[in-house]
Amino acid sequence: MSSSSVVRPTPTGPQVFISFRGRDVRKNFVSFLAPALREANINVFIDEDEFLGADLVNLLKRIEESEIAIVIFSEDFTSSVWCLDELAKMKECKDQGRLIVIPIFYKVQPSVVKYLRGKFGDSFRDMKRNHLAEPLRIQKWKEALVSIPDSIGMPLAEQSDKTDKDFITSMVIKIQKSIENMAVKRNQEIEATRQGGSIVAARKAKKESNRPQESSIVPAARELEIKPSHQGGSVVPSMVHAKDLEITHFDKPRIWTWSTINEGPDNAGIEIATTNKLYWLKIVGTIKTDNLTPGTKYEAVFVVKLENDASGWELPVTLKLKVVQHDGDDDRVDRDENLEAYIGRGWVDILAGVFVVPPKATPATIIFTMYQYADEYKKKGLIVKGVAIRPTK
């Protein structure tokens, strides 16, 4: 049989969905990328693979069916309603722990995408003006444009010395590695189930007296390790206080007010931060994995209060937990929480995520974030005490 008549096997394995702005990259970059992935026996899906005459909404279902999504950000990406809807669907699936999203910055800087600069940002603002009657849809677009670029991706600068072909070769290698890692994780979970291991499974929290209900997948932290902190021989929780968190504009009195409360058996003073007026909320904390017990499951919760006159919290905040492992790999999960439901209820715990502490020899770092970038809403009345890190069942 001649080489030209060789029939290649149909790619199998997890479906890889590619989202892109057609007029920017279909006839050049994507026309090389899709065949290169298929040549590597990767199961690729692009819009041209959909049945002729099918409803465009079917593409959103294809995203739900996929395990990896590649989103190619190009200069005109935000001029397409459909690209933005696909991006919002990717964030939704990613937050549920069902999708890995790999952002590709094709001749556009990551900061341009995240901060909506230049033509990329102008097109998005035009899109917002054209869809003023759909504020929730706009909000989902905006949150996806902030969240997805935070994932580890691959940029190809306008003036890069790397050709499209070389860049695509690098992409194929990265995607193959992601697929291999997925297979390893599956095997670990199966083995852990057989042996009664400690990988954290997806779960939903039970409703408790003063805690919100979890509605998202929690990450499986493969290699977390923290030394135990003991009091009378038992593990006690740790607290990252507000003063030790990175709070955007924390030093501007018109945005944040700092005060002290006295709590605990020793009536110790604790600094808390209260929002006066803000549009962009971002609070980030980090804890090294050397103060907790190996093999124990922990939760990270933001301890906050919303005053009786709190306002501007109609849209949910996003909580993110990221576990950076000793080898540089990371696990992460995002979830949304509606803070408006807690106005006037006193101190509440807002879950960022759950993780398992790994062996002592493989330390890691935990990063937890609360953010909301809804600049149409002036928010006030949120009081931040800190983030509690404590054992959980």
Residues serving a catalytic function are 86
**Tokens 């007010």 map to which residue?**
257
State how far the Cα of 358 lies from the Cα of 225, in Å rounded to an integer: 4
Nearest to 295 by CA among 235, 368, 253: 235
Buried b / exposed e across 39-59, counting CB within 10 Å, b at 16+? eeebbbbbbeeeeeeeeeeeb
**Structure token digits, residue 257:** 């007010």
DSSP secondary structure letters along 191-223: HHHHHT--PPPP--PPPBTTBPPP-SPPP--SS
Give the chain's count of helices (H) and strands (E): 8, 18
Contact (Cβ atoms closer than 8 angstroms) between residue 352 and residue 322: no
State how far the Cα of 154 lies from the Cα of 167, in Å rounded to an integer: 9
Contact (Cβ atoms closer than 8 angstroms) between residue 138 and residue 145: no
Nearest to 392 by CA among 360, 358, 351, 335: 351
Contact (Cβ atoms closer than 8 angstroms) between residue 383 and residue 299: no
